[in-house]
Chains A and B, each alone.
Chain A
Amino acid sequence: MSWRDSRRNRFKLLLFVLSIVFGLSALIAIRGFRSNVERAIHEQSKELVGADVEFHSRSKYPEEVETFIDRMEGRRADEIRLSTMALFESNGGSRLVQLRAFEEVFPFYGTPKTRPENLMDRFHSGRYVLLEESLFHQFSVTLGDRVKLGTIYFEVLGIADRIPGESDLIGWVAPRVYLSKSNLEDTGLMQFGSRVSYRAYVKLDDPTNVESDLERNRRFFRANRIGYDTVKEERDELIESFQRVTDLLNLIGFMALILGGVGVTSAVHVYLSGKRETMALLRCLGTPSSLVVTIFLLQISGLGLVAALVGSLLGNAIQYSIPLFIRDFLPFALESRFSWWDLGIGLLFGWVVCFLLALLPLLPLRKISPLLALRTDVEKPGTMKKDPWAYAILAVLGLTLFGFGFAQTDNLKVNLAFSGGLVAVLAILAMVAWLVLKPVRKFLPAKLPFAWRYGIANLYRPNNRTVLMLVALAVGFIIVLCLFLTKEAILKQLDIDRGESASNMIFFDIQPSQLDGTLEILGRNELPILESAPIVSMRISEFKGAPVRSFYRRGPRGDNDGPQGWTLRREYRSTFRDHLTDAEELVAGRFIPQASMEDEPIPVSISQGLLEDMGLELGDRLVFDVQGLPLETEIASVRKVDWNQVRANFFFVFPEGVLEEAPKMHIVATRTPDARSTAQVQSDLIEKYPNVSSIDLRLIVTTIDDLLSKVAWVVQFMALFTISAGLLVMTGTLMTSRYQRIRESVLLRTLGADSKTIKRILFTEFASLGLLASIIGGFMSVAATWALMKFLIRLPLVVAWEVVFAGMLIMFALTTVTGLLNSRGITRQAPLEILRQQ
């Protein structure tokens, strides 16, 4: 009977129930992707590091560290990393690159992935380099071309796709160039001022206790400014970072699922409303209420099973496509495997959710009175507001969702924050939708044409579920637009065309003897000197009278009430000058322009952020180790620094007259009008001073734009599921109210409305819905981007309004078209037939 009863509405019901397919398939896909990633990381964790343990330092290892490493039982391979300019013979272009010079024995685990394959033997046999792929495209490099590093030319052997020891697949600011360590000395790049870092990879004979051995010596390494990574640490970090990504994707998937779920409940409610008389009649004929409910429950759960099956199969299929989109971000090979377990979980979860969602609107019908069959207008069906079963079902539903969320995230805290955030986001959206909707009707101008007023009034039609449609439509839109806006906001921070006075090219590592020559080359190329500053490297040796080493014993990575660890460990590149720049503002103390060595403690100026991180106050003292020379200083002033300005900004500024004789380097900033003059000046400089590096901000912007676009694409791909769920909820809702719409249009035609008026009314209704959804979506996405920029990315928000308006326009068009497509044929219904129906 259940099957027979459903025959007229089977397709429509199936469509409603399919609302949850998008959310379900997204979650299943993410689940599969996550387990594939975790399995790949576990299987390939040694290859990721290339050794059992890796040590790194910004300076040569002190003797005791060398001894410690050598005492470890195993084999050792060294690597040197430094940033320098590379000159590409292919087109004469040059760019700042990261050199990686490693010994032949490395990697101990895994094989470098190159194109062509198996290049490593030849790589170490001569002057060859492997390049990151982006350099091939940027400088039109072909295999066999030459690249000049320092004073030496190298032949390009191939593309380095994946080298063990690299957790990022691309160099963020500077692409990577690999060469054999035996060739590094000849380049002449290892000189004073070069920013070199050292790595030692060790393959242990017995790596079982490596973590505990290193942990025991953590203070020793910290005191010597040596960092280390083990396979386990690398693996855990990688898993954690991927978990963050999948958590975000899960959140989006859950949104799609919940939206779809609300759509299902709503649609089943409307479907069952139309079945009340049938139910009452069945009861009149002596059917017990439990059987009546069972008949409809069987219908809904049968369709729920279909939806769960479609969702699970689709999700499993999608997980195979995810690696294609994010291949560029994975430092390991990812293989998707079909999992019967995941399919089963998806099927069970999808069906349970669908069943529970459908059960809610069924509850009041178990109390339906047989009298309703006789007196439709008098007998009102019950509601579920006071029904304890409704609360019990809601609780089970909440627990099911929470349980599945926990299974997806493996973390109770994340899942709690996640569930709370999800409910809060949807509640806020529903509230905003309600708040926007309320005044529209109240303040609707009476002078508007009839079709407009009537179309807008339709948004308030009983059972129209406008708030649900607005929320469903806005959620996906907000996610997509928020990502676009965040990307644009970040890029706008890097906008190199902010003004004629803003620099877009910075030269650094200039030796004092090279400064005049560098300035002369800039002058010859008719480029302005926008900034020139000396840089002196130094470290803090005493903090408020206590040796810095004493702070290392106070606990891991800094205390809350003391200076943060990094502030004491890092090397500071400070400058000296007698003035503040336009990126600086004095917020406390007095800026001292001049001093001399006799004035110890030397009055220095500190940036506001660092002052807070170090817990310092005006008058506090620090002793700097300026390349062997201790220099006592006193905090004389505090500067607020605009770090977003692309220029040389400093934590500490010394007065003139103190550091002039210290070993120093220079930095020079200029502005080039176009890419051609950038290439020319880089080429002139690298020819004369190979050690001088430069950063072309245009290239960085392009790289970051490309990277952000790829990241955004992945999230937007998942957000498409939310948008699709939203449109499906809208379609389902419109289908449930389609009969009402037909009736109204027929009635209006009976009263004299022509077909144009009817079409205008329908257009106005859907256009208003689209407009409201896009206003809510636009407003909320700007708000979400603001929150993201302020609290997470910590950059000021520059809203790309053109993106907001374009997004709103697309949203508006999409909603209007979907609405109109769902209303096709409404004006063609025969009036008499409809009017005679109850």
Chain B
Amino acid sequence: MNILKVENVCKTFATETHEVPVLQNVCFEIEKGSRCSILGPSGSGKSTLLGLCAGLDRPTSGEIYLNGSPLHAASEDELAAIRNREVGFVFQNFQLIPSLNALENVLVPLELRGGAGKLRKAEDLLKRVGLGDRLDHFPVQLSGGEQQRVALARAFIHRPSILFADEPTGNLDSETSAVVEPLLFDLNREAGTTLVVVTHNLDLARKTDRIFRIRQGAVEGVQSL
């Protein structure tokens, strides 16, 4: 069963003088529970594609269905509800909220759902990523690797159907990447979440089941591993 269906999606950005096509007639489907990666050089449109698939932006044309919900036709608040229900995110630059401590950052997706009293779950997740002793630390008090581990815990806390990871190790040194990378895949396996990784790192892409190669705004090929 497909969790994500992308049909003839085009995305164009308009400047003052002309229009820049970023994605052209992109089509693909991703099965529930699978792990795939979108691989391509800088400027190929992979992050734009991820944003569209996650409901962070709307396509210029085409249709996107996430777990059956038509993202292309949803309002901003409907998209927010879908993201909260179905989607988890891991960003290259961690994107933690500086005024909240590690535990509070992890709890945000649950709290936005109106769910309270999940402290234990958040604490367990932080322990799972090795930060059991840093619960009340603020982002500025954490290293880059630690911040990304908090971001991983936040991504999984609400058990999303699909997790989008945008260059998850792009801002980390190789030593730290070696810790974060397996953690991402382990947590994904434990949660049974569909994983979509956007990267230009072939080694990371090879750890997924399928690779969508993207070049100049179009899917160039799909490689099953």
Contact = CB atoms under 8 A, between A and B. Distances in A.
Interface of A: 377, 447, 450, 454, 457-462, 464, 740, 743-744, 747-757, 830-832, 835-836, 838
B121 to A, nearest CB: 15
A457 B99 contact: yes
B95 A747 contact: yes
Most buried by B among A747, A752, A754: A752
A749 B80 contact: yes
A835 B83 contact: no
Given A377-B144, A748-B108, A831-B57, A838 B80 contact: no
A832 B48 contact: yes
Contacts, number: 82
Contacts of A754: 76-77, 80-81
29 contacts: A447-B116, A450-B112, A450-B114, A458-B99, A461-B98, A462-B98, A464-B99, A740-B98, A743-B95, A747-B95, A748-B97, A749-B83, A750-B56, A750-B89, A751-B108, A752-B83, A752-B84, A752-B85, A752-B113, A753-B84, A753-B112, A755-B76, A757-B112, A831-B57, A832-B47, A832-B51, A832-B56, A832-B57, A835-B91
B59 interface: no
B6 interface: no
The 8 A-B residue pairs with the shortest CB-CB distance, nearest first, are: A752-B84, A832-B51, A450-B111, A461-B99, A754-B77, A831-B56, A754-B80, A457-B99
Nearest to B80: A754
B112 A752 contact: yes
B48 A752 contact: no
Contacts of B81: 752, 754
Interface string B128-166: 000000000010100010000000001000000000000
B168 interface: no
Nearest to A830: B57
Contacts of B116: 447
Contacts of A752: 80-81, 83-85, 87, 109, 112-113
- Which label, helix, strand, loop or mixed, suits the secondary structure of the A interface? helix
A457 B100 contact: yes
Contacts of A756: 77
Interface string B74-104: 0011001101110101010101011110001
A756 B98 CA distance: 21
B106 to A, nearest CB: 11
Nearest to B77: A754
A756 B109 CA distance: 16
A37 B112 CA distance: 63
A744 B112 CA distance: 14
B114 to A, nearest CB: 8
A752 B57 CA distance: 14
A532 to B, nearest CB: 71
Contacts of B108: 450, 748, 751
Contacts of B100: 454, 457
A836 B50 CA distance: 12
B40 to A, nearest CB: 15
Nearest to B93: A838
B143 to A, nearest CB: 9
B140 A462 contact: yes
Given A462-B140, A750-B54, A836-B47, 10 more contacts: A450-B108, A458-B99, A743-B95, A749-B76, A750-B83, A751-B89, A752-B81, A752-B85, A753-B112, A835-B56
